[in-house]
């Protein structure tokens, strides 16, 4: 993994006290589900869903895959999608870069395709805004992780999901155009990273 990202991860792993007991309970439920699937020798597909698939769902997808890799947990595959298609927000991309991910544009346009890496030896994640039922995402036996209240309410049923959980994050979009914009995106990125690392750290312990 990249040195800067490894240092950021090590710092976030030490910050589990910043996660409330209520949120830990939610994350623990997801950890137990993942552990049970892996114990049954099955792959785990996680689709992180938010309204526009532009900020939180992308950060969660990238952090979850990275966290699984950090804890040497195999057969984890992460995806993201929205109830609408927009674009991967540039401030979210910048926040991920700041923490140490290598991200570059693969295809320009209104909805650019990005290649995101946490390790130069690993194939990059292809990130772009899409609806959660996009052809690139699994259609059956996946976990639907709802990362915002709007998507949660807009999708009372996520067709094909084997398991569904709601882990909401505040929308950094609320700070767009303000002096605190990038600070808000960095805080969101760190919170999601901290909680995904906690989740897969728990999976690692449960698998022992």
pLDDT tens digit string along 83-131? Answer: 899 999 999 999 999 999 999 999 999 999 999 999 999 999 999 999 9
Structurally, how many domains does the chain consist of? 1
> How far apart, in whole angstroms, are the C-alpha atoms of residue 127 and residue 143?
19
Enter the DSSP assignment of 119.
Answer: -
Judge whether residue 189 has pLDDT over 80. yes
- pTM here is 0.96
156 band by pLDDT with thresholds 50, 70 and 90: low
Distance in angstroms (rounded) separating the CA atoms of residues 36 and 109: 41
Which residue range(s) make up the domain with 145? Answer: 3-206
Can you tell me the distance from the alpha carbon of 174 to that of 178, in angstroms, rounded to the nearest whole number? Answer: 9
C-alpha atoms less than 13 angstroms from C-alpha of 34 in its C-beta half-sphere: 31
CATH of the domain at 46: 3.40.50.2300
Instruction: Using the structure block, give the residue that is written with the tokens 């808000």.
Output: 184
Element (H, E) at 77: strand 76-81
133 Cβ partners below 8 Å, 6+ apart?
81, 139, 159, 160
Between CA 125 and CA 103 the distance in angstroms is 9
Q: CB–CB of 158/164 below 8 Å?
A: yes
Other C-beta atoms lying within 10 Å of the C-beta of residue 43? 13
What's the rounded mean pLDDT across residues 162-166?
Answer: 94
In angstroms, the CA 98 to CA 206 distance is: 32
Would you tell me how many other CB atoms lie within 10 Å of the CB of residue 14? 10
């Amino acid at each position: 993994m990249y040195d800067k990202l490894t240092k950021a991860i090590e710092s976030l792993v030490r910050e589990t006290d910043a996660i409330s007991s209520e949120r830990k309970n939610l994350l623990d439920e997801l950890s137990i589900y993942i552990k049970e699937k892996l114990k049954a020798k099955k792959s785990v597909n996680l689709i992180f869903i938010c309204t526009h698939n532009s900020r939180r769902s992308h950060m969660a997808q990238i952090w979850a895959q990275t966290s699984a890799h950090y804890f040497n947990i195999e057969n984890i595959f992460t995806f993201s999608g929205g109830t609408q298609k927009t674009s991967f927000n540039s401030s979210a991309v910048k926040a991920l870069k700041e923490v140490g991910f290598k991200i570059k544009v693969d295809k320009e346009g209104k909805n650019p395709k990005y290649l995101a890496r946490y390790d130069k030896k690993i194939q990059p994640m292809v990130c772009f805004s899409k609806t959660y039922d996009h052809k690139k995402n699994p259609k059956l036996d996946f976990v639907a992780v709802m990362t915002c209240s709007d998507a949660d309410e807009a999708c009372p049923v996520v067709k094909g999901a084997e398991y569904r959980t709601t882990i909401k994050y505040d929308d950094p979009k609320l700070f767009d155009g303000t002096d605190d914009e990038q600070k808000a995106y960095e805080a969101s990125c760190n919170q999601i990273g901290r909680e995904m690392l906690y989740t897969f750290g728990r999976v690692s312990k449960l698998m022992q």
